[in-house]
Structure 1
Amino acid sequence: MMALAKIFSPGGPYQRLLYERSNGRIELDIIGDAFPMADVLEAVGTGKIDMGEAGTPYLSATYPLWAWEAIPGILSEDRFTAIYEQLAIYLDPTVRDIYDKTFREAGAVFLFADIQGDNGAIWSTKRVTTVNDLKGLKLRATAKMVSQSLQMAGASPVTIGAGDFASAVASGVVDGVITGIPYGWDAAKMHTLTSSVTVGPFEPGWTASIIMNAEKFDALPADLQQILREVSDETAWMVASACVDEQQICAWALNEMSDFEYLRFESGEWDKLVEMLEPMRQVWLDDVEASGNPYGPAMLDAIEAAKAEYHAFETHP
């Protein structure tokens, strides 16, 4: 999305803040589209580039720990609340430590999360406001966790490549698509192919990771490492705020359409669906353990603790 792209573009806040805070000692040379997001981790870890934005959800088969956002209902139903929950989670010291340990195994250091909103909305030619509405619905899904969740909910997940799902909806091969609201509206133009979108719990978050080559980071003086950490945290706040703005713009635009419906599950139905999909937490834990990563239980505990701390905040103590 444009707002997020501006943050990382040449002359954008991240480049500028690092330069100013370090008195010119950190100067980023931003190269657009040097590697596909799915290949950035390998490129950074092996030193082909110093820093980059890794599409960690694309790596879920190898690193399922980073696919925790595909656990149904792990974030709140309200999209704006969910984004700030994500931010609180990624800024949590325990989560950061776990991410840093796992990224270091690949030769990289985790700097901050590029939160890009949800990826679990139900764009459909049929209205979905209850759990029962999902029964038998043919929906395009990508990741394993999403496909299994849909199947558990009674829907029929269909694997279709990103370049083909629009034609699949138009021709009736599928009834709809599971993807994010900003992506579905702005990039995929799903509102021209479907009649409604329902905020869904299937992959309530999609986040890329800004990472740096571990050897390069470790070679920096301590003060520059600290500046990188501090500016990265500030930028994470900017990204989350921009993401909230995008969600609001999309919701407003879709609500304004006379021939399209922006929907939510009826009262009690979201909780009913999330409860039905509770076993997917154990599926995720099993996948993490099978990958050889020991941090699954600790990660879940840290996620829940970070959310609880976020919601415990009082503006007028």
Structure 2
Amino acid sequence: MKKVLSGILILMVFIMTACGGTSETSNGPQKGNNGSSNSKDEKYVFKVSHGHPPTSHQHKLLEWYNDEISKRSNGRLSLEIYPSGQLMPSGQELQAMLNGQIDMAIPISSVIGSIDPIWYIFELPYLFEFNNDDPSVFIKHKRAFFDSEKGGGVIKAKTEEHGLKVLSMSQDYYSSFFTADKDKMITDLKSAKGLKIRSTGGTILNDTIEALGASATVVDPSEVVTAIQQGVIDGVTTTAFYALANYPIKTWTSAPMNNYTLTVMMSQKKFQSLPADLQEILIETGEDLDKYLDEISLEAIKEIYDKGAKEKGVEVYLPTKEEHDEFKKVLVPLQAEWAKTVEDGKKLLDEVENTRP
């Protein structure tokens, strides 16, 4: 069990008040859009906001990123991280980056979809290939799509048009259903009917929950535990690592209801103002974060079903093929409906198929 907890802890480590610019040089030498700078010794401190607690893997991944960019830049780059919504609710972070109130954030796909619905592709259920006996199937397929110019490349380019630079597109495993009461375990459509399931927001996730007959309830990340304890919600959709580490849950239904994509994102204006060598460090460190997180995820997933969940007293349910087919019947049509409303949506779904192992 120590090995399992260690693996999960490592994963957690790698998965994230003044206003205005946060660079130590915000009042110093001006830098042009070509990334030039008047000083090789100039230091840049980026103000980062997120709504997750300091113990979360989101916060820990930012600490890892901070350590790496500081080391690789010889101390010229660093992050000033404000967790738990200290500066603002998570829903305000995207606009705050555009306004220059903060420099960086770690929004997930369901939030970024508010500025461009192309991001809602990651909210679609049963999107990527999966196999409970071989977790690498899902990890490899999703990463192949991230790395594809016709997949992740298109999404990043679209986001830059909105003034935001994507430095990392991270994952651990697909999101499943977790409930706080063993009597409310989800095994099929009938058992899901009427349950109040926490949603992070966004049309697709809400539609997914509603299609199963449950009720989607939007709850801020900092309030989820309280909402569970007070019975405001019966369960959540999230990854197993996050649920086991942060929520008082008792059941886990392992089915790909969602493909949360966590990003490290910053203002495009701020990014372009940096010297070229520092821009490269930010990009390369983001890529390395992605690769390393994939490795850590696979290592931990292999044991979390039998040991991690069992030690915490969480009952794991693996739907049968027939039950998956029942879920798919009401959920897979959401993919085509999404594609009709989004520019290049059909092309992105085609790329999901092209990258399928």
Normalised by the size of structure 1, how large is the TM-score? 0.76
Residue 305 of structure 1 corresponds to 354
1:127 shift after superposition: 4.3
C-alpha distance in structure 1 between counterparts of 2:352 and 2:238, whole Å: 23
Unaligned stretches of 5+ in structure 2? 1-11, 16-58
Which residue number corresponds to residue 18 of structure 2? none
Secondary structure of the residue that 1:238 maps to in structure 2? helix
CA drift at 1:176: 4.3
* Equivalence for 2:217: 159
Give the CA deviation at 1:249. 5.9
Deviations 1:52-109 (A, max 9, x none): 3223422434432212122110123446332343333222223343223322233111
RMSD: 3.1
Distance in 2 of aligned mates of 1:161 and 1:230:
34
Match of 1:197 in 2: 252
Cα offset, 1:234, TM superposition: 1.0
- The Cα offsets for residues 145-188 of structure 1, whole Å up to 9 and x where unpaired, read as 233234334x232426353541464xxx7664444322322212
1:237 aligns with 2:287: no
Native 8 Å contact 1:37 1:54 kept in 2: yes
Q: 1:31 aligns with which of 66, 81, 86?
A: 81
Instruction: Check whether the contact 2:68–2:285 (CA below 8 A) recurs between aligned residues.
Output: yes
SS at 2:82's partner residue?
coil
Q: Secondary structure at the match of 1:273?
A: helix
Distance verdict in 2 for CA 1:177–1:96, change over 3 Å: closer
Deviations along 1:117-154, whole A, 9 cap, x unmatched? 333324352444445544x352424243233234334x
Alignment partner, residue 195 of structure 2: 138
Match of 2:98 in 1: 45
> % of aligned pairs identical?
20
Q: Which residue of 2 aligns with 1:185?
A: 244
Deviation at 1:112, TM superposition (A): 1.0
* Equivalent residue number for residue 119 of structure 1: 175
Distance 1:6 1:184 in 2: 16
1:28 is paired with a residue of what secondary structure? strand
Map 1:142-291 → 2, pairs under 5 A: 142=199, 143=201, 144-153=203-212, 155-159=213-217, 161=219, 163=223, 165-167=227-229, 169=231, 176-191=235-250, 196-203=251-258, 205-245=259-299, 247-248=301-302, 250-251=304-305, 252-256=307-311, 260-288=314-342
CA contact (8 A) 1:130 1:266 kept: no
- SS at structure 2 position matched to 1:182: helix
TM-score by length of structure 2 reads 0.68
- 1:52-91 paired onto structure 2 within 5 Å: 52-78=105-131, 80-81=135-136, 82-91=138-147
2: CA distance, partners of 1:55 / 1:174: 21
Structure 1 residue 261 displacement after superposition: 1.9
Return the alpha-carbon distance in structure 1 between the equivalents of residues 295 and 89 of structure 2: 25
Q: Contact conserved, 1:185 with 1:250, CA < 8 A, in 2? A: no
What is residue 18 of structure 1 aligned with on the other side? Answer: 69
- The code of the aligned residue for 2:317 comes to L
CA contact under 8 A between 1:117 and 1:207: conserved in structure 2? no
| 1:219 to 1:158, Cα distance in 2 relative to 1, 3 A | closer
User: What residue ranges of structure 1 are gaps of 5+ in the alignment?
Assistant: 289-293, 312-317
Distance 1:270 1:17, change over 3 A: same
The structure showing larger relative contact order (alpha-carbon pairs under 8 Å, at least 6 residues apart) is 1
For residues 233-291 of structure 1, what are the alpha-carbon distances to aligned partners after superposition, in whole Å with 9 as ceiling and x for unaligned?
1111122334445545643222346x642111013432442243221012322443xxx
Cα distance in 2, alignment partners of residues 64 and 243 from structure 1: 27
Query: Is the partner of 1:200 in helix, strand or coil?
Result: strand
Secondary structure of the 2:257 match is coil
